[in-house]
Structure 1
């Protein structure tokens, strides 16, 4: 054995919009594609059969009452390619493509009665909140927003539980916009004539007020990149068993940064064994994070973390 090998750990931080982990005959998910524990399956929007950690290619989805929920294509356990979601009656809810784990290109949406609802275009360089609106119709087929322009009041194409009111111009929000859920105002935002956010004010369920100038902020390591490198140098230990067996490779870890910045549900998505999986989890679990924010409010963030084990 060569005792003079140089150990080179490499770490990459990636955002994971949707991922699965663990292995089970039936895996339950929320409407936001978050994996649920079996004891929480009554809150599930859909389930998948016999996938667990092996989501590759076309994966069929089902409502808890067993009607088809649609399907999605996966590569390395994250959405890649065509996906389609259905209402229980079989009519289209939404359909589009994923690229590198994120929504991409034109997505079409429908109503439960079979009528077209909207078409939007996602830009990989911008957040989901900046999807460009092409057309929006009501459930009777009346065109409300045409070629990206028009005043609109109705369900948010990106989240139908919320109603929005304002003006679209060239597919983007301009002027003042209000979002509500039932009778509660969620936020009021102001945009430039070019669709850039100027400022926003949001309120949580307790009425606490938040001010923001960006729609979303991803969770970050408390020390930034420099702090993360220091944490790595101090914490990382290449497993002796892996060194003895010349084991190299990548370990993908998924975890949630909760609203307080604490880490939850740290699990290996793709592992290489020989103690490397456990080491990747240990390194992640000892890191400190600032929570992500959505419209100024702390939110849970699902992350994917790649630890590359290299020997030289």
Structure 2
């Protein structure tokens, strides 16, 4: 199977954004688009309590049978609801000149299912929060945190509303893998015609200036309008400030080695940069 743009959809408010960004990426990359809905029928199962109490003989068994029947009914409803969401996603992308998208409904936990699909993924598009976290406006969601840690494919985390990226910022730390990220950004059809920005968070040293010049030269040689800066301070605060000042539409970050940026992404908690971002974040591994 050829590498695809995989869009993970659920019933959250971010599903439309996932559809639209996935359609944009599929067209730009000239890659097949597949919508995936994962059924985890045990994630919301009722808690098993001690139902023996003073119930007369046979009552507990009867109640267990009823609970089992309810579980089966809930699984059926979730399956049908998922099929409707997949159909709606395909219909939405047909209006964006994509007529041959595919759908898959899979059973299992979200993270394990996506990891199993990894060999087929060119780009994974996910909403900022999942279905069960839509009420928690400041919480990224444990599922996405685990996906970021365990996947080794590019992940595009998107907001609820689509905006075509015209200004792109890459957080750069000068490492070998960060340089690969700049080279990917320079040549990727996703960013053809985009204005590219590079930000190094650190001290104003000759080494950092040399690294910044290298990154800007690579982007300009690839035909991009490019500019950049070196700023001191916390990584997340510096990135957020730069995004606001320059009207950035998409942020590119990488889980690089043992750098400060890697710690930001795969540390014990997800940074405020991801939780608070109102723009898409492309995470490179």
Q: Greater strand percent: which structure?
A: 1
Q: Greater helix percent: which structure?
A: 2
TM-score in terms of structure 2 length: 0.28
